């Protein structure tokens, strides 16, 4: 993709950790220019996301902040408010996941920004919204997994609540926020002006869960209890093979007949409990016991060949190690590598969205804190003398390794990174 789908759109990224950076990363994947404002302490995910050679760029941080420009500001110091005001003027979209009260103190809430700049789009991602009894409370992904009912789904299946070992709420809500921003951009481009968006994690994920699991209680009166009985069945898990695990799903009547034949259960082809979608729904416990029986008499590869010949949806159940070496992942080049200014060679996960038969190629790796502070300050119209004052007072912090526009020669510096 030579020109991104959002080329010309500039995003001010006031987010940290995962949910907000997921949103702005996706906008960057679509071609927007993303300006990440980072505090002197740095985004928590720089360290929280795991080990790295310098301790400053965890793998998670690298992947969720690739392609973004980085400016480091101490918003509590004099002069920072003027810089932020210029950044807001310069950008089209403002995305934040700070607590609403903190945004208000900084004048970065939607009301303050839109009063001055009615054409801007302001997107706030919160834990629990700005009204209701939970408004303003702190949260993290695992807390949202619990309160939204995701953890309880495991209790319904296995007897004990558990968390999905992935920050699934952050990713889902971040992507939903991206979609909301795109809709607002369409409205603005059609002459409808800017506006505010608010995406609460709890409500969003509660709706996500209930869309599938309100189920029989969707009706008045209910026709049964809540919960998709298929998804909550204890046999709804990967199946053991002779040398590993395999994931298999069969839903249609032809698929069920093909599966029973493939696994040598031909005697069940005439069983009325399993003959139709409706009968399997009524006998879901018995059906999933059949469907979930171990396939330990053959290897995963042998079963994959059998299921492929029968046109049954089946794939190996990968580990984190085997996923990277999957033949399809390797063939399509999902993972490559690039050079990072401080971390050496790092893995790159390319965009999975192809536009005009090409994948997006965002600008380089996630940047060290303050990597483009000087350049961005200059681009928003701050003169060199004032930039020098901002740096001297610690209001603006820049990486001594970063590119330097005219200070004095525009060449790359090689000193060690300035520490906040």
For domain 239-316, give the CATH superfamily.
formyl-coa transferase, domain 3 (3.30.1540.10)
> Are the C-beta atoms of residues 95 and 120 closer than 8 Å to each other?
no
Q: Given this model, what pLDDT does residue 17 score?
A: 97
Nearby residues of 229 by Cβ (< 8 Å), 6 or more positions away: 215, 281, 284, 285
Q: What was the pLDDT predicted at 215? A: 95
pLDDT tens for the chain, 420 residues: list them. Answer: 447 899 999 999 999 999 999 999 999 999 999 999 999 999 999 999 999 999 999 999 999 999 999 999 999 998 999 999 999 999 999 999 999 999 999 999 999 999 999 999 999 999 999 999 999 999 999 999 999 999 999 999 999 999 999 999 999 999 999 999 999 999 999 999 999 999 999 999 999 999 999 999 999 999 999 999 999 999 999 999 999 999 999 999 999 999 999 999 999 999 999 999 999 999 999 999 999 999 999 999 999 999 999 999 999 999 999 999 999 999 999 999 999 999 999 999 999 999 988 888 878 999 999 999 999 999 999 999 999 999 999 999 998 777 755 543 333 332 222 322
Tell me the CATH number for domain 10-206+336-397: 3.40.50.10540
Domain ranges of the chain: 10-206+336-397, 239-316
Of the candidates 37, 78, 40, 69, which has an alpha carbon nearest to the alpha carbon of residue 56? 40
Q: What does the pLDDT read at residue 406?
A: 53
Confidence at residue 252, expressed as pLDDT on a 0 to 100 scale: 96
pLDDT of residue 418: 32
Q: Residue 34 and residue 45: Cα distance in Å, rounded?
A: 18
Rounded Cα distance between 23 and 177, Å, is: 6
State the pLDDT at residue 402.
Answer: 78
Q: Record the pTM.
A: 0.92
Same fold flag, 10-206+336-397 and 239-316: no
């Amino acid at each position: 993709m030579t020109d991104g789908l959002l080329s010309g759109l500039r995003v001010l990224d006031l987010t940290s950790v995962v949910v907000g950076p997921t949103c702005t990363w996706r906008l960057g994947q679509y071609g927007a220019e993303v300006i990440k404002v980072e505090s002197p302490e740095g985004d928590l995910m720089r360290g929280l996301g795991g080990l790295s050679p310098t301790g400053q760029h965890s793998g998670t941080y690298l992947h969720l902040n690739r392609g973004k420009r980085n400016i480091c500001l101490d918003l509590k110091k004099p002069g920072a408010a003027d810089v932020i005001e210029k950044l807001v003027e310069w950008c089209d979209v403002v995305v934040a996941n700070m607590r609403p009260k903190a945004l208000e103190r900084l004048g970065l809430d939607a009301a303050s920004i839109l009063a001055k700049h009615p054409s801007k789009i302001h997107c706030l991602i919160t834990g629990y919204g700005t009204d209701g009894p939970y408004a303003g409370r702190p949260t993290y992904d695992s807390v949202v997994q619990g309160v939204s009912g995701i953890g309880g789904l495991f209790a319904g299946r296995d007897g004990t609540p558990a968390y999905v070992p992935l920050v699934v709420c952050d990713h889902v809500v971040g992507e939903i926020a991206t979609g909301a921003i795109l809709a607002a951009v369409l409205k603005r481009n059609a002459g409808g002006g800017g506006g505010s968006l608010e995406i609460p994690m709890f409500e969003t994920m509660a709706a996500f869960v209930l869309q599938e699991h309100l189920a029989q209680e969707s009706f008045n009166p209910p026709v049964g209890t809540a919960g998709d009985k298929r998804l909550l069945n204890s046999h709804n898990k990967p199946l053991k093979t002779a040398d590993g695990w395999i994931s298999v799903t069969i839903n249609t009547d032809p698929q069920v007949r093909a599966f029973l034949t493939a696994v040598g259960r031909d005697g069940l082809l005439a069983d009325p409990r399993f003959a139709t979608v409706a009968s399997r729904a009524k006998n879901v416990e018995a059906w999933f016991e059949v469907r979930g029986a171990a396939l330990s008499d053959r290897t995963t590869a042998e079963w994959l060949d059998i299921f492929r010949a029968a046109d049954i949806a089946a794939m190996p159940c990968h580990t984190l190690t085997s996923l990277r070496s999957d033949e399809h992942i390797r063939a399509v080049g999902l993972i490559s590598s690039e050079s990072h200014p401080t971390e050496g060679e790092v893995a790159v996960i390319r965009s999975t969205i192809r536009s005009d038969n090409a994948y997006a190629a965002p600008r380089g790796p996630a940047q060290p804190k303050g990597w483009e502070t000087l350049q961005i300050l200059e681009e928003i119209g701050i003169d060199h003398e004032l930039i020098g004052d901002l740096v001297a007072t610690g209001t603006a912090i820049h990486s001594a390794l970063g590119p330097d526009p005219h200070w004095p020669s525009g060449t790359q510096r090689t000193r060690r990174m300035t520490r906040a």
